[in-house]
Amino acid sequence: MLITAARLVTAEGEGGPVPGGYLDIASGVIHGVGAGAPPRKPDAELPDGYLLPGFVDLQVNGFFGVDLQTADAAGWATVAGRLPSTGTTSFLPTLITAPLDRLAAELQAATAVVPSLPAAGARVLGVHLEGPFLSPLRRGAHNEAWLTDPTADAVEQLIHAGGDLLRLVTLAPERPGALAAIDRLTAAGVLVSVGHSDATAAQVAAAADRGARMVTHLFNAQRPLRHREPGVVGQALTDPRLTSGLIADLHHVAGPVCALAFRAAPGRIALVTDAAASAGMPPGEYLLGGEPVTLPAAPGAPPVRADGTLAGSALRMDLAVANMVASGVSLAEAVAAATRIPADLIGRPDLGRLAPGAAADLVWLSPDLTTRATWVGGELVFTDGTAGTLAAVAA
């Protein structure tokens, strides 16, 4: 298949959109990327907007009314099948704090569900465990009664339950046993992220020394930046080993502060949604990690626990990119933060870029940066239903 587009955003390097570009695709893989006249008659012509890599979201608790922690196989299939409508083509389902035995059982259940998911949907790249090794001082929406230390036995239980599916663990490095846990998780091929943490900058640096490479939802549920104690935020922004997830809904973090993070840590910001079951749904009552949250009526507002604590988000990845552009981040930087940077962070250089050899996971955004069409492995899995879009993407 050959696709021509008004503008390509490759997510490679610092360049802006490539005008009048094309992609040559075979067997679900990009074989050629170019500008100017295509080598043959295209199979699909995208007359405006932007063609870019599909989004890679490292933190999805649920979506479309489905709480992944409590969902059955049909619920998981709903989320994976409908995420391409937001431009997301691969993601990490995220399980939050629960009693250790229950969390291990939920993780093991996921290992049975994921291989059965339909191919025509977003790729599941693994599972993100956000907890239970978190700080009670920065617990956010997590149940304090279920927080625990990362003992050797607890860590082994989760590694055994998740097998190859366990891809990312968020923990607080100041908890007893956390540094040894980082050693073990890293040795098992699991990415470790600092989050829900009251750690000092020195403690975060020690975690990075042991192999931690990420900070979960920068600015939220962590020791903030102070002029004498940089905290989690200060270390995240200044330590070149750390890439920070950022919930760019403009509620968790204000737009100017998001822009500041991009300037302070260029190439080390990964946009995430932290979406809960309420994402893509009307205001009402939903679940996060099996416990109730309420989605307010205010447009774009995140869900909250009964005490008002923010509890995930209702964000889409295409809106996250649009929000960052509106906040002064360049389109190329925003796209890289939603594609190449998270893909590289979890060791998937075959995703998140328009380059020869990369998977043909693509999203076509309108000029106002909303999703019009999405491909996974070169197969069209979503269009927005308008006559113009359907005609443009027809093979």
Residues catalogued as catalytic: 274
Residue 16 · residue 64 · CB < 8 Å: no
Which of 147, 130, 141 is CA-nearest to residue 193? 130
Residue 122 · residue 84 · CB < 8 Å: yes
- Residue in this structure with the two tokens 């060791």, named with its chain if needed: 347
Q: Is 79 helix (H, G, I), strand (E, B) or coil?
A: helix
Q: How far apart, in Å, are the Cα atoms of 371 and each of 83, 152, 324?
A: 11, 44, 16
Sign of CA dihedral 357, 363, 365, 369: negative
- Residue in this structure with the two tokens 């998981």, named with its chain if needed: 76
Question: Where would I find the H helices in the chain?
Answer: 73-82, 100-113, 152-162, 178-187, 201-210, 231-238, 255-264, 317-326, 331-338, 340-345, 387-393
Sign of CA dihedral 149, 213, 341, 319: positive
Which of 285, 295, 277, 315 is CA-nearest to residue 65? 277
